Structure 1
Amino acid sequence: MLALLLCAAAFVTALWRLDRGTRTLWIRLTASVSTFVFLLLSISWFIANAFTGEGVNGAVFYHLRTGFGGAGLREYATLISAFVFATTCAAALAVLVYRRKPGKQPERLSWQNGILAVALPVLCFIHPTVNATLRDFNYALYGSESLMDSALGNEEAAEPFESHYIQQEPEWQSPPRRNLVVIYAESLEQTYFDEKLFPGLITELRELQDRAVTFSNIRSVEGTGFTIAGLVASQCGLPLITTGHPNSMRGMDRFLAGATCIGDVLKTQEYTLHYLGGADLSFAGKGSFFETHGFDSVMGRQELEPLLDDPSYVSTWGLYDDFLLEQFLGRFEQLSEEDQPFGLFGLTMDTHHPSGHRSRSCEGLEYADGRNRMLNAVHCADHLLATTLKAILASPAADNTLVVLASDHLALKNDAYDLLTQGKRRNLLWLFTPDSEPKTYRQPGTTMDTSVALLRGLGADVEAFALGRNISQPKTSLFATLPEVNSQLRRWRGDYAKLWDLPEQIEALSLNSQKRTVEINDRQFQAPALIALNDGKMESIRFEFDSRQNLYQYVQEMTPDATFVWFDECSKVRALELKLPVAGLCYFAGRTNGRRVLAEVVTDTEALNAGDLRSVSGGFTTEDQNNERRQRLATLAEYGVADLRQSSIQTSLLSVGAKLSVRSSGGPKSRSLLETASQKDIMERGIQLFALTDSGTAELIAHYDLCQKNSSPSKTPGEILQSRITDNESTGHRGATYLLVAHDSPTCGAPLEPLLEGLPLTEWKDLGFRQPYIALFSPNRRSASIELSGDRYSQLRVTFSGTELVAAAHQ
């Protein structure tokens, strides 16, 4: 926060000093753009900080890439609205900076103004949002072998991953028959047990602590600070740090398939494995993770919700803990009666940031004065978790069960965060074992070390599991033995990428439009997908699900000679090959600079063999083809459509100095709008009729939607115009100019003649479903009328001017 304030003070000072001198055009532009960028960075930092309490960190990057499906975003509606409002204000302020006239001080020398102008973007670059996360962002995009590494000269300092990653089958003292029960308490870190900070907050769990083996010094390190990362760290001994490979789990069929996790180990010992959680399994790929690593049943919100007596008893994040733990305890009792060892894992939800969700059964159970909702939820969780643990520990099956209570990660920004940050923040890890005396281990460790503690608690003779270590011995954890542990963990991104076990050599690749899948060898991925190839091998695969950017933006980032297969909506893929139609699913295989490419509509299943992929990797290249394709990609990114045609027209229908920008879309996925110097109108489906006023604005005088059932306009445009001319001749309407615009579709099969007959226009007669259309006309100047229509699902964008008209049609 201090760094942000100092950076902001420097920026404001430089901007103020610059404002007092003469400012040329480039200085004004630099000041304006820098102001918007600086404000946007600051806004982003505060928004991210509201979620994480640490500004922009690894959790932010992970969820930007994997998406927010299943997240309880309703809780953040106010925050999201604030972001939109603040960004709008930032843009307005940037405009003011550009337009502001210099002060009345003596003119400063041009070189002094130049230095101040250059200082503004420099201050943007050293902004905490950039400075603290640029390295993470670089790694997230390009992996460990990146330009950033070379520039900083730190590659030699990287420890070899192989010397620390230990993956071997645990040796068992005897065949393991002990059951395993693990409850992950959402964000319930050990700091909540601090009586100085939270007197009387945790009472019932504290009574159980004397029966547990406690690890009191579990730190949070890179790639372990959010829910799915905490699950991966504690069960696989690995951080979840994203790489250039995709981690959008909605598209992946397997989650870290190349890693060995506790579920895989227990499966070899004939355990049945089960997971129950209150949140949606799709969020961050939790369901995929458990299914990949040996779990027999995986149940989240969608699977458990039908069991609710009251279907409305859900929070924004999912099921309340009293219901979840009741189901969890019931499953434990059921499994205990079966003659097979089992692992039962659960994840609570009530203590989720920012304010928690207190279960209905805790009504009347408040902490202190009851004003802090998060602490009320924690106080309730204390009661619910203690009740569940007591029931499990009192069960006859407890004599043969390892029971674990752990936090999935440290609490993120919540209503109690100011108090939490005053304490010694550590994760919670308690083990209740049938044959171990209660003890507290204070050696430093991480949640990756939890994996070893669980295996040892089940009877395995193991000192290391992946990057996890036995922290019942001093100075064994990577936290204690690896210099700059967070930096080292980040450097191994390329090694983690291999653990996703993506197919390398492509033996068979098929695209299925019915299932919307890409099948590569024995793997199946969800479309849309972008597969990068290297000499016939699969280099990476990316998805668009809730991603930080669209697949065509990834294509834009590729080098011209990079070979890839892109399977997506035809309206997007046709940016690379205009022969493709607008509707349906299409694919493109080749290079942006390649003459030999494959591009077709996929109506059912399209198979590409190894020879096809090799053929598009070679062949002739052309720079002109590359430039054309990249220009269409840029148009797709800006307007949502690929093709661009331009023409220049002059019209006398507008007075000199008047300017009007109009966009007409022939489909529902893009906006149609009208802009003047003082207004911006977004159009609804159908046909809009505007009257252009002498003041330079456009007045909407009629709207017709022929796609709406039982739509029968009371007056046609011709009748409206005739009435205006007759009734207001003295006001000058006889010579007025009118604008007719279609959005989405001018008609859904209904004839246009009854509506538009009598206007000094003709092209509307040929308009069909979802064609864009713009017409500028005057009822008394038929010869001056201007009409523009586009192909189906295309888009028109026109800027009218009294002295110049530029028209662009996009399809």
Structure 2
Amino acid sequence: MIVPGFVLFPLLLFTILEGISWIISSKSFSYEFSLHLSINTLRYGISGYEWAVTAMVFYLLASITTIGYFNRFPASSGGWMVSRLPGFISLILLLALPTPSGAALRFWVLRPVEQKKEIVVTNKDFQRFGIKHNIPDRDTIKAIPGKNLVLVYLESTENSYLDETRFPGLMPNTQALMKEAVVFEELQPSTNGGFTIGALFASQAGYDLTDLHLSGRFGNDGINPAVGNRICSMPGVLKKAGYFLSFMASNSLNFASTKVILTEFGYDEPWAAEDQPPEIRQYYGFTGEWGGCRDSMLFRIGAKKFQALSKLHQPFLLTLMTIDAHHPDGAANPTGPLYALPGEEPSQLLTAIHRTDLALGEFVAQLKRQPAWKNTILFVMSDHLAMNGASTIHLLRENPHRRLIAFALNAGTPRRVSVPGKTFDLAPTLLELAGVQHNTIFPLGESLLGQPNPRRLYGDIELAQPVMMALLRNKSGYSPIEEQDKAVHVVTTPYVALKIDGVPMPIFSYYTGNTTLPSAKECYAIRLSPENQAIQWHRSKRAAPVATFLEDGQKTLLFGKASGPAGVLTGLSELPPDDYILAIQENGKFRTVHGPRPETLVLPLAQDRTPAAPTESR
């Protein structure tokens, strides 16, 4: 026996999972992979990778059978050292070397440990990576409005598809629009902007997601909005200038904390096709394979929204996010124009891209007929490059200069901008294009219309993460001009969260980034810093993992029903099973409040204060 079966099975599983990660993101375990590792996306992923999933199941079953066969006879006691010593050496090598198991260990075990280390950061470090640290608090931001802004994210649609020699006639409308636009030719994805939620965050926050934002258990159970919450985003600047902010998506916002992020950015109206009630879905024919509507329908609804927003008598931001070109093979209705490469059968992915291009052309034509168009900037961009699992990837790799599509219509004299940039540069660039005057500074992003610091292009690499995280720790916390109540509240709008001294920490569900109240058997635990800021969270149906989470000794919040781990750990399991318990563990002791209505629960953070709401305490 070289490696015991119970060890060999997870090693095989890690091998398969890393293979999937390479298919998705062209790299080993990363946030691109972990944020897609959920039941919420499995139902979509299987529809695109049927053969891969079948092969994976067959491989695991065959491996289990083989392992069982070769381990059916126990090793003799005399040969224990001979049989097992090579196994232990092999296991250590598998974890230490750049193998799938070693990659899993480094990403899910060592990364969180490294994150907790205190690293001294100097001004030279900030300068080295082009990271600004003299950033004003978001409460002190002042802004003067400019033009309306319409922002369109094209799913996985990169500049390679504009090559007429490889894809003749694929995107005629985009080609025509770019001739009358300001085109940004050298825009690349930022390090954590290679997937949709990372690109959305970076393009609107002006910096990349970091390990601090994704400090749940597996990196796929929510993004902590309290990290860097004193930094103003691009939508936040527009909000200060009096803009109405609307967001519309073809699929769902209940993925990877999208709704939480949009809410914290200040969007007034986050809308998604999949999240609409059944009667609305039926009326509009929302039957999209990816859970929402086709991009053509999104653009039609978006044109009507533009018309409605133009009647508000206030400036607005309208953001549309498409989905049809999603890997591996896109999504397209059975009826409609097809696209095929010369001499080949029609491609569903290329057909989806072609139809989205046609819908974009119609959308722009409709906007141009509206009076509000003369005071509107329309910006079109790829969210990220096509993923490694796209059915066209063999053709895209022939392009040695793969870049994001990015261009602005109605932005003055058509021209080409060749300044190198990354996703996070779009936040200040959009504000300048719209003519919005403001006093904010973004940690990394700088306008591509000027002469940005070239060092900022290295501010998102792994080596710069400790510097960025030092800045974010300094820019997290409480408003300097608002008074806090020094208590924890349960809130259910605009999303389910524990409001800790005025700062919300979402109650994330398992592996989806959605927010829900704990079920009858669940408990949500949040570890607090000495400044009472949320730094880590854990949701579980069993008391043992939560108890382990509590062993760190730091101040920790618990929230759940009395019938679950919260009742067991606090000694309140005798309460009515539907009662919610909100508790703080400090110095090994619990302080609690409880009741049937979670939104009435208020628990002081300090022991010498009394609850601000009438709840039972213990």
TM-score band w.r.t. shorter chain: 0.7 to 0.9
Q: Which residue does the alignment assign to 2:535?
A: 540
Which residue, 569, 574, 578 being the options, matches 1:576? 569
The CA distance in 1 between the partners of 2:167 and 2:177, in whole Å, is 18
1:255 shift after superposition: 8.9
Matches within 5 A, 1:44-443: 44-63=17-36, 68=40, 72-73=44-45, 75=47, 78=50, 83-99=56-72, 114=85, 117-132=88-103, 135-137=106-108, 141-142=112-113, 144-146=115-117, 159=126, 163-165=131-133, 167=135, 176-243=145-212, 245=215, 257-301=229-273, 302-303=275-276, 306=280, 309=283, 311=285, 313-359=287-333, 362-368=336-342, 369-393=344-368, 395-412=370-387, 413-423=389-399, 424-435=401-412, 437-443=413-419
Pair 1:186–1:312, CA change in 2 (3 A):
closer
**Which amino acid in structure 2 is aligned with residue 121 of structure 1?**
I
Q: Which of 554-563 and 38-47 deviates more?
A: 554-563
Which of the two has higher C-alpha Rg? 1
1:346 shift after superposition: 0.7
Pair 1:360–1:397, CA change in 2 (3 A):
farther
**Which amino acid in structure 2 is aligned with residue 565 of structure 1?**
L
Scaled by the length of structure 2, the TM-score of the pair is: 0.78
Structure 2 runs not aligned, ≥5 long: 508-516, 519-523, 611-618
Q: Which of 576-585 and 463-472 deviates more?
A: 576-585
Point out which structure has higher relative CO (alpha carbons under 8 A, 6+ apart): 2
1:50-106 C-alpha deviation (Å, 9 max, x unpaired):
333434222223455x9847984552573556545544443333333434799xxxx
Which residue, 489, 502, 515 being the options, matches 1:522? 502
Matched-pair contact (CA < 8 Å) for 1:212–1:431: yes
1:341 shift after superposition: 2.1
**Which amino acid in structure 1 is aligned with residue 65 of structure 2?**
A
Matched-pair contact (CA < 8 Å) for 2:15–2:100: yes
1:479-534 C-alpha deviation (Å, 9 max, x unpaired):
54x37834314653354366564799872235699998645333555444213245
The CA distance in 1 between the partners of 2:292 and 2:369, in whole Å, is 29
The CA distance in 1 between the partners of 2:555 and 2:445, in whole Å, is 39
Scaled by the length of structure 1, the TM-score of the pair is: 0.61
What's the secondary structure of 1:362's corresponding residue? Answer: coil
The CA distance in 2 between the partners of 1:557 and 1:226, in whole Å, is 30
The CA distance in 2 between the partners of 1:536 and 1:155, in whole Å, is 23
Pair 1:563–1:425, CA change in 2 (3 A):
same
Matched-pair contact (CA < 8 Å) for 2:477–2:503: no
Pair 1:384–1:50, CA change in 2 (3 A):
same
Structure 1 runs not aligned, ≥5 long: 1-27, 616-811
Pair 1:535–1:187, CA change in 2 (3 A):
closer
Matches within 5 A, 1:428-467: 428-435=405-412, 437-460=413-436, 465-467=442-444
Matches within 5 A, 1:642-681: none
The CA distance in 2 between the partners of 1:157 and 1:168, in whole Å, is 20
Which residue, 556, 561, 570 being the options, matches 1:564? 556
1:560 shift after superposition: 5.0
1:692-737 C-alpha deviation (Å, 9 max, x unpaired):
xxxxxxxxxxxxxxxxxxxxxxxxxxxxxxxxxxxxxxxxxxxxxx
What's the secondary structure of 1:532's corresponding residue? Answer: strand
The CA distance in 2 between the partners of 1:40 and 1:536, in whole Å, is 40
The CA distance in 1 between the partners of 2:453 and 2:337, in whole Å, is 45
**Which amino acid in structure 2 is aligned with residue 122 of structure 1?**
L
What's the secondary structure of 1:36's corresponding residue? Answer: helix
1:410 shift after superposition: 1.7
The CA distance in 1 between the partners of 2:11 and 2:446, in whole Å, is 43
1:285-332 C-alpha deviation (Å, 9 max, x unpaired):
323323333333222113487165454633233111111101111222
What's the secondary structure of 2:256's corresponding residue? Answer: helix
1:168 shift after superposition: 5.3
The CA distance in 2 between the partners of 1:87 and 1:156, in whole Å, is 51
**Which amino acid in structure 2 is aligned with residue 580 of structure 1?**
S
1:225-284 C-alpha deviation (Å, 9 max, x unpaired):
221221121111021224265588879788964331121211222222222211112222
Q: Which of 406-415 and 369-378 deviates more?
A: 369-378
What's the secondary structure of 1:469's corresponding residue? Answer: coil
1:407 shift after superposition: 0.9
CA RMSD of aligned residues (A): 4.5
Pair 1:47–1:507, CA change in 2 (3 A):
same
The CA distance in 2 between the partners of 1:579 and 1:271, in whole Å, is 48
Pair 1:614–1:298, CA change in 2 (3 A):
closer
Q: Which residue does the alignment assign to 1:509?
A: 488
Pair 1:474–1:537, CA change in 2 (3 A):
closer
1:211 shift after superposition: 1.1
**Which amino acid in structure 2 is aligned with residue 566 of structure 1?**
L
Matched-pair contact (CA < 8 Å) for 2:202–2:208: yes
The CA distance in 1 between the partners of 2:53 and 2:200, in whole Å, is 28
1:423-452 C-alpha deviation (Å, 9 max, x unpaired):
2221111112342x2222223210101112
What's the secondary structure of 1:566's corresponding residue? Answer: strand
1:450-492 C-alpha deviation (Å, 9 max, x unpaired):
1122111112468963310123345634454x37834314653
The CA distance in 2 between the partners of 1:139 and 1:429, in whole Å, is 37
Q: Which residue does the alignment assign to 2:614?
A: none
The CA distance in 1 between the partners of 2:270 and 2:33, in whole Å, is 26
What's the secondary structure of 2:564's corresponding residue? Answer: helix
1:173-198 C-alpha deviation (Å, 9 max, x unpaired):
x9544221111111111222133443
